[in-house]
Amino acid sequence: MNLDQELKFIGDELEKMFSLTREFLRRSLVYYLSDGSERFDARIDDAMVNACERNVEAWCLSILLREKVYAADLRRVTGCLKLVTDIERIGDHARDIKDATEKLKSLGTSQGLDRAATQALVDFVLRMYDDAVRGFVRYDVALAEEVASHDNEVDEMYEKLLADLIAKTKDGVVSAEYAIYTSLVYKYLERIADHAVNIAEWTVFIKNGFHKDTVII
Amino acid sequence: MNEQEEKRQARLRAMREADSRADGDIGRPAVVGAPAVAEQERREEVPEEVVFEASHLNLYYGNTQALHDINMKIYRNKVTAFIGPSGCGKSTFLRCFDRMNDLIDGCRVTGELRYGGVDINTINPILLRSRVGMVFQQPNPFPMSIRDNITYGPRCQGIKDRKYLRQLVVDSLNEGALYSEVKDRLRSSALALSGGQQQRLCIARCVAMKPDVILMDEPTSALDPIATKRIEELIQKLKEKYTIIIVTHNMQQATRVSDYTAFFMLGKLVEFAPTSEFFSHPKEKASEDYITGRFS
């Protein structure tokens, strides 16, 4: 394989990883939003995502070892090497949400919690992830920058949900144990959004060498 | 400049402005009075002094044009790397700086090449070559002792003071990072040295003439990685005193040792830029194709 073919292979592998992670995340969230009543489809797990990550890392490192990569190629290889970690972390969080849902399932239902706001956060985070992926696949800097700009909105949604959860815990609407696991799920969603922002920021880096308004190379 | 590049430049400007405000932002006490002026002077970019300037330079071997309309500046105490595929004219251009092309029959140069603002064609070539030294691809020590290799040039210039020459040998070999290895055998044949040592001797022989500029034509291509590393370290040290122009096929070497890179193709200067910028954001497609190995 020449360098172009190798770079294409890495891109293909990342797209496969994006799809796997996205589907894993969707299944975990469906499971969570149904309070565990929907059956969790376990045909995708984070081991599959991890295998893709190893593959991408191995190819990137192998290119750095063998080839003299400069300019756009260097940004592409190093950028992929960085953002692959974020995709893998999203896979971990998908598993975490599934695990937390299993705990919550054993503790009762989410009666009394603001499910519409939770659904809104879920939709927002998934849209950010999808846009981050689209931005990467098309090397669309404008779309990537838009994703990065949503970071604060997610934080606000997360803070509101947390405040609602605290209030309802104090009022005795939900148990402390239930609240702890629910807050974990909120945190995972907020972290997934952060990783989507990271993917978007590395996309900008791959395109023009900037990362968070700092010239890396 | 395309939209992407304009955006990049705008962000760079914003970063520089932010950087210049950084001291106040992080709450350091404001610097006022003379220290403020000194601080300001420290921050101001020192304009780079031009040593050589080529204007519309063309070079012909008989009817064949080898260099086309070259315009470029060489800056003092900087290392400038010339890169490009074989036959692109980089060595030919290098030889213009000390008028070595004058020795080739049928070679004709038009346009201008100024050294310190003076057209080099008006400078005595012997004098020019004492100010502009050259190190070649193959180490070429003279078949004489290490000491005589160093003193040969100055002796040809009429310097006979033994004390001066003795000190010159020590100083030049030190500058060539060779003295500690050969100090006990200065009268031994230079041909007995290893390839890397011979090349450092050639550099020491070059600096013994107290040049202003050192031209290096692929100085490490015949050396192993260890000897190459030593020469590269030496180049970094030498640039504190000398202006260096180096022709290299090794792009990693260009990124390691040079401040500016000039990319040539088919006798034309395609791009000239600070090295970090050239290898990360080349402006010309031909440059990017070459450095990323997509050149055909």
Note the pLDDT of residue A47.
87
Over residues A146-163, the mean pLDDT reads: 94
CB contact under 8 A, A207 and B4: yes
pLDDT in the model for residue B46: 64
Chain A residues in contact with B14 (beta carbon < 8 A): 213
Residue B15 to residue A217, Cβ atoms within 8 A: no
Q: How confident is the model at residue A216 (pLDDT cuts 50, 70, 90)?
A: confident
**Which chain A residues have a beta carbon less than 8 Å from that of B12?**
215
Q: Give the pLDDT confidence score for residue B143 in this predicted structure.
A: 96
Please give the span between the terminal C-alpha atoms of chain A, in angstroms, as a whole number: 27
Residues of A whose CB is below 8 A from B294: 4
- Considering only CB atoms, A71 lies closest to which of B4, B8, B291, namely B291
CB contact under 8 A, A71 and B282: yes
Residues in CB range of B136: below 8 A, 6 or more apart: B202, B217, B219
The pLDDT, as a whole number, for residue B17 is 62
Q: What is the pLDDT of residues A99-112, one digit of tens each?
A: 999 999 988 777 77
All domains in chain B, ordered by first residue:
50-140+213-291 (3.40.50.300)
Chain A nearest C-alpha distance from B292 (Å): 6
Neighbours of A15 (CB within 10 A): 14
Its pTM stands at 0.80
Q: Which of B4, B252, B288 sits opposite A71 (nearest CB)?
A: B288
pLDDT along chain B (296 residues), means of 10: 69 60 41 48 69 97 95 97 95 96 92 96 94 95 97 94 96 94 96 95 96 96 91 94 96 94 97 93 94 81
How many C-beta atoms lie closer than 10 Å to residue B26's C-beta?
A: 7
Domain boundaries A3-215, corresponding CATH code: 1.20.58.220
CB of B137 closer than 8 Å to CB of B222: yes
**Residue B12 is nearest to which of A3, A75, A215, comparing CB atoms?**
A215
Contacts of B196 (CB under 8 A, 6+ apart): B223, B224, B226, B227, B228, B230, B231
Of B12, B14, B279, the CB nearest to A70: B279
Which chain A residues touch B if contact means CB-CB below 8 Å?
A: 3-4, 67-75, 141, 207-210, 213-215, 217
Task: Count A/B contacts: CB-CB distance under 8 Å.
Answer: 44
Residue among A150, A182, A145 nearest A164 (CA) = A182
Residue among A28, A29, A25 at smallest CA distance from A17: A25
pLDDT the model gives residue B27? 39
Question: Is B280 touching A (CB cutoff 8 A)?
Answer: yes
Task: State the nearest Cα–Cα gap between A201 and chain B, in angstroms.
Answer: 15
* Cβ neighbours around B5 below 10 Å, total: 12
Report the pLDDT value the prediction gives residue B94, as an integer from 0 to 100: 97
| pLDDT the model gives residue A16 | 93
Q: What is the mean pLDDT of residues A146-156?
A: 94
Confidence (pLDDT) at B32: 42
